[in-house]
Chain A
Amino acid sequence: EVQLVETGGGLVQPGRSLKLSCVASGFTFNNYWMSWTRQAPGKGLEWVASITNSGGSTYYPDSVKGRFTISRDNAQNTLYLQMNSLRSEDTATYYCTRGYYGDYWGQGVMVTVSS
């Protein structure tokens, strides 16, 4: 059974940093691209970052480019999202997803950016 379990969320002040983790199981992790997608409270879905299966290439929308970094440790079956210079508009539930478009999603982790 494919499982994606995100951790690392919480309350953080504007301008500070936070790192999310996603532990994957039930599939061969290094065969898949992985992505992060977020959802602000009561809002729609927004793609945040993607990484190739080797980790050699990463992709971001303009809204987070230069502030967020996606990475992976294939030996540990773990995906990461380093979030720097956080803003109030980054407040959302962050989902780890398998593949480029997301055939499996984690349960999500809440990030609240507030003073």
Chain B
Amino acid sequence: DIQMTQSPASLSASLGETVTIECRASEDIYSNLAWYQQKPGNSPQLLIYDANSLADGVPSRFSGSGSGTQYSLKINSLQSEDVASYFCQQYNNYLTFGSGTKLEIK
């Protein structure tokens, strides 16, 4: 089974800052990686797929990068509506999620 190690578990940043969340896979997942945003009380929503492709309707301040076993989600110009939990997910070999990152505004 592929394990996904996500960091940090929580993050506090100021409005307008740039934040980065990382995910490391236990083996090469060939960019078969998605990122989701889950706001409190809501279902997860797809942000990024195929490691760096922006899902429909997602603001361009969100971006994904990485390859092999190392991937990251970057949020530029942090806004108040970005307060949420973020999860990575590999889909190269079945499906595995990272443990999540809770993002708060400082």
Residues of A participating in the B interface, judged by any CB pair closer than 8 Å: 35, 37, 44-47, 50, 59, 61, 95, 100-108
Contacts of B32 in A (CB 8 A): 101
Contact A46 B34 (CB under 8 A): no
In this complex, which of A44, A95, A108 has the most chain B Cβ atoms within 10 angstroms of its Cβ? A44
Total number of residue pairs linking A and B with CB closer than 8 Å: 49
What's the nearest-Cβ distance from chain A to residue B95, in Å? 4
Please give the number of chain B residues whose Cβ is less than 8 angstroms from any Cβ of chain A in the complex: 20
Contacts of B100 in A (CB 8 A): 44-45
Contacts of B98 in A (CB 8 A): 44
Contact A105 B44 (CB under 8 A): yes
A66 CA / B97 CA spacing, docked (Å): 22
What's the dominant secondary structure at chain B's contact region?
Answer: loop
What's the nearest-Cβ distance from chain B to residue A106, in Å? 7
The stretch that binds A, out of B13-21, B61-69, B86-94, is B86-94
Contacts of A104 in B (CB 8 A): 46
Contact A106 B43 (CB under 8 A): yes
Q: A46's contact among B36, B43, B45, B97, by CB below 8 Å, is which? A: B97
Contact B94 A47 (CB under 8 A): yes
A53 CA / B71 CA spacing, docked (Å): 29
Q: B94's contact among A59, A103, A107, A108, by CB below 8 Å, is which? A: A59
Q: A101's contact among B1, B89, B99, by CB below 8 Å, is which? A: B89
What's the nearest-Cβ distance from chain A to residue B102, in Å? 11
Contact A105 B99 (CB under 8 A): no
Complex A-B: 17 CB contacts under 8 Å: A44-B87, A44-B98, A45-B87, A47-B95, A50-B95, A61-B1, A95-B43, A101-B34, A101-B46, A101-B91, A102-B44, A102-B46, A102-B89, A103-B49, A105-B44, A106-B43, A108-B43
Contacts of A101 in B (CB 8 A): 32, 34, 46, 49, 89, 91, 95
Contact A95 B44 (CB under 8 A): yes
Contact A105 B89 (CB under 8 A): no
